[in-house]
Structure 1
Amino acid sequence: MLSYIIKRIGQAIPTLLIVITVSFFLMRLAPGGPFDGERQLPPEIEANLMAAYHMDEPLWQQYVRYLDGIAHGDFGPSFKYKDFSVTDLIWQGFPVSLTLGAWAMLVALIIGLPLGIIAAIKRNSAVDYLVMGIALGGIAVPSFVIAPILALVFGVILAWLPAGGWHDGALPNLVMPVAALALAQIAAIARLMRASMIEVLGSQYIRTARAKGLTPTEVILRHALRPALLPVLSYLGPAIAAIVTGSVVIEQIFGLPGIGRYFVQGALNRDYTLVMGVVVFYAILIIVMNLIVDLLYSVLDPQIRYD
């Protein structure tokens, strides 16, 4: 197991290097710069700022300097948030994004898994068509459409919930952002679980379990559930990373101080280091989550070993 983890980490380093390299040079190709604004700065002030942030150095030298900082866990200073480093901003926004994403994924699993199992058991019935129709609608309608509707109906018209704000993660402030994020994940998990469960229920060992006289509930819980969860588990790795760091629109709509909001502000302000820091952090999170998912395979399927 340890040798497998070390091997995966070794494979992840070149992948992370490619992400950093591509992101670094693409950011520099974008028009404008971090010190461009509505008011043109005097040339001497702009030159001092460029020198202070090493922007006057050759591009390759800036790249090497950035890699050296990443190797020491330093994402560099933010060009726009003068009193904060990029690392400070990421760790300020990460708890908010993590709380929002964790609740959304928990809700998606609690609702999506049973819906998928029911649809598989009731295959080609009215229940199956209803569940899959709702799931298809959840996938087709994006979160940036659902979120404003929820805010308008429940926050403005009915005034049942706050239309925005964080307030230290109070439950009323979490309900609508979590719902907007979870709907698409519920739909995806339900569809994956249905397809996987149908395939498992057609297996020979399931027919053997039924022939032994086990009840349908025992067949599902004791024999079919664990192997049917494997495709869902594969989906959860990148999905959790995406939902934690990629809730850009949701955080903007509801005014939440998460990583996604910093990413948007950094992109608008041409804050190179802030955008790069979020991208690299996201890449690391995906790599870690995929590794955890691979390790969990051996828990669900005893035939899988990483010796």
Structure 2
Amino acid sequence: MGRYVARRLLQMIPVFIGATLLIFLMMYSLPGDPVRALYGEQSLDEAQIAAIKADLGLDVPLWQQYWNYLTGLFQGDFGTQIASRREVADVIADALPVTVRLALFAFVYTVLVGISLGVIAGLKAETLLDRGMLIFTLLLISVPSFVLGYLAQFVFAFKLDLLTPTVRDSENWTELAMPAIVLGSLSLAYVVRLTRTSIVENLRSDYIRTAVAKGLPRRRVVGVHLLRNSLIPVVTFLGTDLGALLSGAIVTEGIFNVHGIGRTVFLALNHREGSTVVGIATLIVIIYLCASLIVDLLYAVLDPRIRYA
């Protein structure tokens, strides 16, 4: 296990460098001058522009800018914003806790509700309940998130007056309930379908027939033998989905006025704040790599046949 983890960590290094380099090049290779764009129609002396670029490290070749950024990362330096001269690490520190709370709420909702509905649909395959679950999940997949968000606001906030239409206090879990459910609804649909399909497939397996023939209680057959093996594809999806949730959902955060990572990226793109976008994207890459490693390690927990040399 230790050698496998060490090998995976080494494999992450070129992936991390390649991903961050690609993002960096896409942001800083865009046409136009971000310093000039910041001041709009104001007339600036060329010496002032050169001084600002030198202060921000934008006066050197692109490859050197990336090298300076990469070396600064190991010291916790994600760069500096052009407009406010604020450290990007401070911007991330303000937005990330909000997105983490929202993402964890959505993730727990997706796992508990999605797996439960998937197991029920799988055990009741080809029944009216299973077909109803299919229609429900297809509806969630088909409806865009912004439509679902406005619909949830209209029903639960304006009509039923159960929840607030926007988030005024990001530390209040009750106010985060509606955006979290909207954010996790698409993932919920996929989890239900994956769990249902895996359950139906494993119900035909020899080890399930053996467990039933041995007279094991149905709860043990389903909860231990069937569910553990059926969760492998679900865990794979949830691992990548957790990274997507933590990276922030621009549409959902915008609808419910959540000041998280998604909204920060949107504002940074509008203002050509490349350092902010690259810093947040770097954090997302790290989250995805860690989630991928954790998912691979969970395979051996779920299926005893899997061993890591």
Which TM class, normalised by the smaller chain length? over 0.9
- Matches for 1:247-286 after TM superposition, within 5 Å: 247-286=249-288
Q: Among 131, 134, 143, which residue is 2:133 paired with? A: 131
Taking the aligned partners of 1:166 and 1:203, their CA distance within structure 2 comes to 51
- Matches for 1:138-149 after TM superposition, within 5 Å: 138-149=140-151
Taking the aligned partners of 1:271 and 1:304, their CA distance within structure 2 comes to 45
Q: Residue 175 of structure 2: SS of its match in structure 1?
A: helix
Could you say what the CA RMSD is over the residues aligned between the two structures, in angstroms? Answer: 1.6
Q: Among 123, 144, 158, which residue is 1:121 paired with? A: 123
- Cα 1:46/1:188, change in 2 over 3 Å: same
Q: Deviations over 1:188-208 (max 9, x none)?
A: 100000111111111001111
Structure 1's unaligned 5+ residue stretches are: none
- Matches for 1:207-246 after TM superposition, within 5 Å: 207-246=209-248
Deviates more, 1:264-273 or 1:137-146: 137-146
C-alpha deviation, 1:166, in angstroms: 4.1
Question: Is this contact kept in 1: 2:167–2:176, CA < 8 A?
Answer: no
2:84 maps to 1:81:
yes
**Residue equivalent to 1:24:** 24
- Identity level (%): 36
Deviates more, 1:296-305 or 1:263-272: 296-305
Q: Residue 172 of structure 1: SS of its match in structure 2?
A: coil
Taking the aligned partners of 2:55 and 2:233, their CA distance within structure 1 comes to 50
Taking the aligned partners of 1:29 and 1:66, their CA distance within structure 2 comes to 15
Matched letter for residue 6 of structure 1: A
Q: Among 182, 185, 195, which residue is 2:184 paired with? A: 182
Count of aligned pairs between the two proteins: 306
Q: Residue 56 of structure 1: SS of its match in structure 2?
A: coil
**Residue equivalent to 1:172:** 174
- Matches for 1:75-114 after TM superposition, within 5 Å: 75-82=78-85, 84-114=86-116
Q: Residue 171 of structure 1: SS of its match in structure 2?
A: coil
Taking the aligned partners of 2:198 and 2:33, their CA distance within structure 1 comes to 49
**Residue equivalent to 1:6:** 6
Deviates more, 1:183-192 or 1:86-95: 86-95
Taking the aligned partners of 2:170 and 2:100, their CA distance within structure 1 comes to 13
**Residue equivalent to 2:194:** 192
Deviates more, 1:275-284 or 1:30-39: 30-39
Question: Is this contact kept in 2: 1:189–1:232, CA < 8 A?
Answer: yes
- Cα 1:41/1:70, change in 2 over 3 Å: farther
